[in-house]
Amino acid sequence: MPLLLHVVLPLYSLTAAVLVWSVFVRNGGLDTINQAIEHGRYPEGEAGATRFTGLGAVDDALMSLVAFNLPVLNAGFDVGRLFMAQFVAGVSVVVFILSVEGRRGRRSSLVFMAWGLASQLATSAIVLPLYLLVHTRRGRKAKGRGSVSPHAALCALPSHLLGYGVPAAMMFDPLDQGPHAKSLWALMFALCPLTIALCTRAVRALLPRASTTKAGYNALQMGYGIVGAVAAAFHVMTVVKAIAQPASLLAGLLSLELYPDMLRDKILTFLKLDYLITFAALLTWAYSEVRDIYRGRPLLLLGMFAVGTVVVGPGATAAVACLVREAGLNRGNVKSG
């Protein structure tokens, strides 16, 4: 299976480059955003903050991150908001897994932040398979593959909830704070690897150090369980709502129009392709990891992954797989003192 990963994962990245970005460029989505930002505004009449640092080039770059998210968050775009909600919940699992893997061994937190920001800028469908490829090659050579310090494990979930969960929820504007605040939350979400890193520093200073491997292990398992449960809840909610409104929501979620007229539909197509390839890569890696630890019955394991993806969604399935993997990595190592 590791040999197969070395072939499949780069293919995912290549497919993403061809499908995700090339389609978005050819259908004019990228050009529409760039033209609007050149004129100091957001596309399709969206409103929000346009100055963040006072540096023109930096502000334009930050505006482009916000401009990509605002159209699908628009209150009048029911299909976009529904898809975005379950997309954000699912990707939460990806981000949590990457932050945990970034804490293994003696890796610097800058590694997670660098890969995470690259994923946000170039899309996770391109960057994640490459990260998993590099991580797999290094992880299986390292002696301390399963090592996450107890204190780092204890800080993982609170940092994730503050740095990712809060901006992700608030950019939907549940408190009706207005377009300016909404755009700032959308920017924080786009820069979530940075916000998670900052929150991690604060949480590490506030939380007492976990002195046992068991405390750290339990914290990680709780983290996988919570992000997985949230992803499952939003997956089920999306399915139920779509079935209840087949003519609008279900059709909109299942369709994949490559060259629509409106920018929001172009972004939605981009996100759908990004979502499919990202989770194909993550589940391929997770399957390989679980099978590597728990030998035997590969077809049964594959069937469990398939059923889980349909019933509770790919995000929750990946979270459960990592929970099981963590248990395998820590067999015999979990001590209470």
DSSP annotation string for 112-132: HHHHHHHHHHH-HHHHHHHHH
**pTM score:** 0.92
d(CA 166, CA 146): 29
d(CA 283, CA 290): 10
Question: Where do runs of H (alpha helix) occur along 259-311?
Answer: 263-293, 298-311
Per-residue pLDDT of the chain (337 residues), as tens digits, is 667 788 999 999 999 999 999 999 999 999 999 999 999 999 988 999 999 998 989 999 999 999 999 999 999 999 999 999 999 999 999 999 999 988 887 666 677 888 888 988 889 999 999 999 988 776 655 544 557 888 889 999 999 999 999 999 999 999 999 999 999 999 999 999 999 999 999 998 988 876 678 888 999 999 999 999 999 999 999 999 999 999 889 999 999 999 999 999 999 999 999 999 999 999 999 999 999 888 778 899 999 999 999 999 999 999 999 999 998 888 756 554 4
Per-residue pLDDT at 214: 87
Shortest CA distance to 43 belongs to which of 262, 191, 260, 256?
262
CA distances from 61 to 5, 98, 190, 274 (A): 34, 25, 12, 21
What are the DSSP calls for 14-29, one per residue?
HHHIIIIIHHHHHTTH
Q: Domain extents for the chain?
A: 2-329
Per-residue pLDDT at 264: 96
Per-residue pLDDT at 337: 45
Per-residue pLDDT at 13: 96
From the CA atom positions of the chain, what is the Rg in Å? 20
Per-residue pLDDT at 137: 73
d(CA 259, CA 88): 24
Which residues make beta-bridge pairs with 148?
A: 104
d(CA 62, CA 56): 10
Return the number of other C-beta atoms located less than 10 Å from residue 3's C-beta: 7
Return the number of other C-beta atoms located less than 10 Å from residue 282's C-beta: 27
d(CA 220, CA 166): 20
